[in-house]
Amino acid sequence: MDELEKMDSVALIAGNGPLPLVFAREAKKAGKRIVAIAHLGETDPRLEEEVQDIEWIHVGELERLLRFIKSRGVGCALFLGGVDKKKVLKNMRLDERALKLLERLGPRGDDTLLGALASELEEEGIKVVSSARVLARWLCPEGILSRRSPGERERADITLGIRVLDRVGSLDIGQTVVVKEGVILAVEAIEGTDEAIRRGGALGGSGAVVVKGSKPGQDMRFDVPVVGPKTVNVMRENGATVLALEAHRTIIVEPAEVKDAIDRWGMVLLGWRRSHEP
């Protein structure tokens, strides 16, 4: 929380998943003032109990989001959590400002949209801070993090997964690849990491390797790769045996619980870097 120590208050723009709630609890313990923008149908309702003020909006209500942050006198914002893109495509409510923003954009991948949103915030004098810097102590370290090390075949699959991840990431597609014995079983797209793992398990059976990392040139202010206990549970249910995460660029929520589950089920957990073989 070193970066957070420099802030008196921050606007938390919260999506789904455990990260916004975990962060808010940690920030509350540190005595920080957190105001939250929560998304209907996405954000955990328990967030209300952990922040000083909260505004519930639909995805796409950009003017309302900006007005709320400015009215609370907060000078910086933090993006945490994702959105269910399948639901968003059906249920988003684009206000006039959001429509004008979309009209100015070309291809609309995640980074394009979030980068444009960040620019809108900063034009209004609201600095967008890096979630990776604020949550630095939760970033995956480099090296073998489990009792078991990967075997030769698993190492080869990790290497292949990293190569594929570089290619699909450069197209702003996804952050997860599932591999088994040199065969690409699944590439994450709109469905998210857990569904990609389930699809890989359904197609390849047990023994798959899950490789997750940032996109080349990733803006670490938002959409930082995240895993947690649920990810490991989904792997176990679908027979995946290795979780290979990009070191220093992937957040592990509740790391002690993740590592305990990995070891209990005989899986491998490791942190890799693009400049090195795993």
Question: Over the stretch 138-195, which tens digit does the pLDDT of each residue have?
Answer: 999 999 999 999 999 999 999 999 999 999 988 888 899 999 999 999 999 888 899 9
CATH topology of domain 139-272: Cytidine Deaminase; domain 2 (3.40.140)
pTM for this entry: 0.86
Residues of the chain predicted below pLDDT 50: 1, 276-277
Helices 229-237 & 255-264 angle (0-180, nearest 10): 20
Cα 241 to its chain centre, rounded Å, is 21
182-220: pLDDT as tens digits: 999 999 988 889 999 999 999 999 999 999 999 887 888
Annotated domain spans of the chain: 2-134, 139-272
Q: What pLDDT score was predicted for residue 87?
A: 67
CB 66 within 8 A of CB 122: no
Judge whether 2-134 and 139-272 match in fold: no
> How do strand 33-39 and strand 53-57 relate by DSSP bridges?
parallel
Residue with tokens 């606007």: 11
Q: What pLDDT score was predicted for residue 277?
A: 47
Pick among 3.40.50.20, 3.90.1640.10, 3.90.870.30, 3.10.450.50: CATH of 2-134: 3.40.50.20
Distance CA 218, CA 115 (A): 10
Cα dist from 170 to 6, 110, 147, 214, whole Å: 33, 12, 33, 10
Phi, psi at 225, each rounded to 5° = -55, 140
Phi, psi at 9, each rounded to 5° = -150, 160
CB 27 within 8 A of CB 134: no
